[in-house]
Amino acid sequence: MTKLIYAFDEGKKGMKDLLGGKGANLAEMKRLGLPVPDGFTITTQACIDYLEQGGTLSEALMSELQDQLAAFSTRTNKAFSSNDNLLLVSVRSGAKISMPGMMDTILNLGLNDDNVEKLARKTNDERFAYDCYRRLLQMFGEVVYDVPMTAFDTYFNDYKKQHGYEIDADIPAEGLQEICERYKAIYEEKVDKPFPQEPIVQLTEAIEAVFKSWDNDRARVYRQLNDIPYDIGTAVNVQEMVFGNSGDRSGTGVAFTRNPGTGEAKLFGEYLLNAQGEDVVAGIRTPKDIATLHDQMPHVHQQFVEVSQSLEQHYKDMQDIEFTIENEQLYILQTRNGKRTANAAINIAVDLVREGVISKEDAIKQVEVKSIDQLLHPNFDEQALAQATVISKAGLPASPGAATGKIVFSAEDAKAQAEQGEKVILMRPETSPEDIEGMVASEAIVTTHGGMTSHAAVVARGMGKCCVTGCANLEINTQQRTVTFPQGVLSEGDIVSVDGANGDIYVGEVDTISAQRSEAFSQFMQWSEEIAQLSVRMNAETPQDIAAGYQFDATGIGLVRTEHMFFAPERLVEMRRFILAHNHDQRVAALNKISTYQTDDFEKILRQSEDRPTIIRLLDPPLHEFLPRSEEEKESVAIQLNVSTRELNQNIEQLHEVNPMLGHRGCRLAITYPELYEMQVEAIMNSVIRLKEQGIETNPEIMIPLVSTVEEFKTLKAMIIDKIERMAQENGHELNYAIGTMIETPRACLIAHEIAKEADFFSFGTNDLTQLTYGFSRDDAGKFINAYADQGIMEIDPFQTLDVDGIGQLIKLASEQAKAVNPNIKIGVCGELGGDMKSIAYFNTLPIDYVSCSPFRVPGAILATAQSAVESGRLSVK
- Identify any residues that bridge with 476 across adjacent strands, giving them in sequence order: 483
Nearer to ligand PEP, 353 or 538 (CB): 538
Which among ligand PEP, Mg ion, none contacts residue 561 (Cβ within 5 to 8 A by kind)?
ligand PEP
767 is in an annotated binding site: yes
User: Least distance to Mg ion from the beta carbon of 562, Å?
Assistant: 13
| Main-chain dihedrals φ then ψ at residue 789, nearest 5 degrees | -65, -45
Angle (CA) 130 134 136, round 5°:
115
CB of 693 to Mg ion, least distance (A): 34
**Rounded Cα distance, 851 and 843, in Å:** 8
> Residue 421: left (phi > 0), alpha (psi -120 to 50), or beta?
left
Phi, psi of 378, deg, nearest 5: -75, 165
Distance in Å from the first CA to the final CA of the chain: 51
Smaller CB separation from ligand PEP, 285 or 778: 778
Count how many residues are written for the chain.
Answer: 878
The CB-side HSE value for 123 (13 A sphere, CA atoms) comes to 21
Comparison of 347 and 539: residue with beta carbon closer to ligand PEP: 539
666 forms part of the interface with Mg ion (CB under 5 A): no
830 is annotated as an active-site residue? yes
Residues sharing a CB contact under 8 Å with residue 246, sequence separation 6 or more, in sequence order: 123, 125, 128, 274, 326, 327
Q: What is the DSSP letter of 161?
A: H
- Closest approach, Cβ 619 to ligand PEP, in A, equals 11
Kindly state the smallest distance separating residue 801's Cβ from ligand PEP, in Å: 14
Q: Which of the ranges 136-144, 539-547, 763-771, 815-823 carries the binding residues for Mg ion, by CB under 5 A?
A: 763-771
Pair type for strands 319-326 and 390-392? unpaired
DSSP state of 339: P
Q: Which does 76 bind (CB under 5 to 8 A by kind): ligand PEP, Mg ion, none?
A: none
Helix (H, G, I), strand (E, B) or coil at 615: strand
CA distances to 168, 251, 481, 706, 844 from 501, in Å: 33, 30, 26, 46, 36
Residue 829 Cβ vs ligand PEP, minimum distance, rounded to whole Å: 8
**Do 490 and 496 touch, CB atoms closer than 8 A?**
yes
| Tally of CA atoms within 13 A in the half-sphere of 139 that contains its CB | 27
Q: Which residues contact 875 (CB under 8 A, 6 or more apart)?
A: 361, 531, 869
Give the helix/strand (H/E) hosting 226. helix 217-226
Distances (CA, A) of 305 to 37, 267, 290, 300: 19, 8, 10, 9
Residue 690 or 778: the one with the smaller Cβ distance to ligand PEP is 778
What minimum distance in Å lies between the beta carbon of 556 and ligand PEP?
Answer: 15
User: Any bridge partners for residue 497, and if so which?
Assistant: 404, 506
Size of the site for Mg ion (CB under 5 A): 3
Residues 735-754 that bind Mg ion (CB under 5 A): 744
Pairing between strand 390-392 and 504-507? antiparallel
CB neighbours of residue 57 within 10 Å: 18
Q: What is the largest CA-CA distance in the chain?
A: 105
Residue closer to ligand PEP by CB (options 44, 839) is 839
What backbone phi and psi angles, to 5 degrees, belong to 159?
Answer: -60, -45
Could you say which of 180, 466, 667, 830 is catalytic?
A: 830
Q: Check whether 765 is labelled as a binding-site residue.
A: yes
The verdict on whether residue 617 carries a ligand-binding annotation is: yes
Say if residue 766 carries a ligand binding annotation.
Answer: yes
- For ligand PEP, give the closer residue by CB, 338 or 558: 558
Catalytic member of 455, 471, 749, 853:
455
Q: Nearest-5° angle of CA 450, CA 453, CA 454?
A: 40
Within residues 528-567, the interface with Mg ion by CB under 5 A covers: none
Could you tell me the sign of the dihedral formed by the alpha carbons of 33, 34, 40, 42, in that order?
A: negative
Q: Considering the complex, what minimum distance in angstroms separates the CB of residue 767 from Mg ion?
A: 5
E strand map for 168-244: 234-240
Nearer to ligand PEP, 402 or 858 (CB): 858
> Residue 766 touches which of ligand PEP, Mg ion, none (CB < 5 to 8 A by kind)?
ligand PEP
Separation CA 81–CA 100 (nearest Å) = 32
* Using rule CB under 5 A, residue 768 touches Mg ion: yes
| Residue 123, marked binder | no
Of the two residues 168 and 625, which places its CB atom closer to ligand PEP in the complex? 625
Evaluate whether 717 touches 739 at the Cβ level (below 8 Å): yes
Closest separation in Å from C-beta 830 to ligand PEP: 5
At residue 86, φ and ψ (nearest 5 deg) are -70, 130
744 is in an annotated binding site: yes
Q: What whole-number distance in Å separates Cα of residue 451 and Cα of residue 468?
A: 9
Least Å distance between CB 365 and Mg ion?
34
* Single-letter amino acid, residue 677: Y
Q: How far is the CB of 744 from Mg ion (least distance, A)?
A: 5
- Residue 561 assigned ligand-binding role: yes
Among 470, 765, 834, 835, binds Mg ion (CB under 5 A): 765
Beta strands in 70-170 (DSSP E): 89-95, 105-109
CA distances 317 to 27, 277, 521, 803, Å, are: 18, 24, 18, 33
Q: Cβ closer to ligand PEP: 199 or 765? A: 765
Q: What residues line the site for ligand PEP (CB under 6 A)?
A: 559, 561, 620, 744, 765-768, 830-831
Distance from C-alpha of 86 to C-alpha of 79, rounded to nearest angstrom: 6
For the chain, the C-alpha Rg in angstroms (whole number) is: 33
Of 277 and 621, nearer to ligand PEP (C-beta) is 621
- Per-residue binding letters, 699-738, with Mg ion (x by CB under 5 A): ----------------------------------------
What is the smallest separation between the CB atom of 93 and ligand PEP, expressed in angstroms?
Answer: 43
Q: What is the dihedral of CA 325, 331, 336, 337, to 10 degrees?
A: 60
Burial class (CB in 10 A: 0-12, 13-18, 19+), 48: middle
Residue 294, sorted as left (phi over 0), alpha (psi -120 to 50) or beta, turns out to be alpha
Please identify, using beta-carbon distances, which residue of 6 and 843 lies nearer to Mg ion. 843
Task: Choose the one of ligand PEP, Mg ion, none that binds residue 830, judging by a C-beta under 5 to 8 angstroms depending on kind.
Answer: ligand PEP
Given the rule CB under 5 A, which residues bind Mg ion?
744, 765, 768
Output the known binding site: 561, 617, 744, 765-768
Question: Which residues sit in the known binding site for substrate?
Answer: 561, 617, 744, 765-768
Q: Which residues are the active-site residues?
A: 455, 830
Binding residues for Mg(2+): 744, 768
